[in-house]
Amino acid sequence: MSMKKIFAIFLFLVSLTAIQAQNETESVVFDNDSTYVDTLNRNLIGLNVYPAFGILGGGRLPNTKIFVQYKHYFDHTNLRASINYISFYRDNDNVDIIRTTSDTTDVDGETVVADSMVFRKFYYDIYSYDVRLGLEAAFPNRNFRFYVGSGLIGGYHYTGEYYYHYKREFNGYPINYVNLTYPSNAETVGYRKTSFIKAGLDFTIGVDINISPNCVISVQYAPELVYYHKLKQDLLDPDIFFVHDLESEFNFVPDYIDFVVNIRF
């Protein structure tokens, strides 16, 4: 997903929630007074539901982040803590031709040649579990609470890369169709499973919108900078496909948008 689409979705969600909050009741009046003190309950627990809107970006999200978050309001500060699950989608439509086979048999005195081809296809299982603790500078007023801040990240990251072989009949060239789904005769023959410790920082800029006294909608942009420290690797590679090992590395992920539905208590 391009950054242009990401920011377009971010602005759309902010506008939508702002309109909804303003239309909720005529008794709510916008207050620009920077000395405003929120007197409602200051504890929030929320769920990030943005992955459900992945279709708005034109397809499956490259990174799907689901989290449960606790947030506490001080007068001009937010304290937040969350448990996160991130699934990383990696597409690979490559299909390699491993070999062709020819089986010659005699049937009732006649020679029959059955040709087939063996293909190699790929799939992935990449995910993270982490916990986060952060502080945000808050700018409250009666309807909205803007904030900007940062938080610490600590957790576990797993990268599973697999390939399988499958056979199909070969009727000559050109090859007009190759089965890209997982066929019934598929056989997983190789993999590389790598585990990492995950540590880093996330950065948040967003707005909490008061929908009602006990419901708050949060829309935020939340990029992160993390370091993956390699723990161990399990390798089975008869095709000698994985030429270079995965190593410890820094990774900056700029495309996280969070749309959080909070209950205030």
pLDDT of residue 57: 53
- CA–CA separation, 112 and 244 (whole Å): 43
Nearest to 232 by CA among 156, 179, 164: 156
pLDDT of residue 43: 97
- CA–CA separation, 150 and 135 (whole Å): 6
Using 70 as the pLDDT threshold, list the residues of the chain that sit under it. Answer: 1-35, 53-60, 99-115, 169-185
pLDDT of residue 27: 37
pLDDT of residue 235: 95
Provide the whole-model pTM: 0.75
Name the one residue in this structure whose structure tokens are 């602005």.
11
Nearest to 174 by CA among 117, 121, 114, 98: 117
- Segment 83-121, tens digit of pLDDT: 999 999 887 777 777 766 655 555 455 544 446 778 888
pLDDT of residue 56: 56
Task: Retrieve residue 93's tokens.
Answer: 């439509």
pLDDT of residue 46: 96
pLDDT of residue 117: 76
Confirm if 77 and 137 have CB atoms less than 8 A apart.
yes
Q: Which of helix, strand or coil describes residue 32?
A: coil
pLDDT of residue 98: 75
Task: Retrieve residue 170's tokens.
Answer: 């070969």
Task: Retrieve residue 16's tokens.
Answer: 């939508």
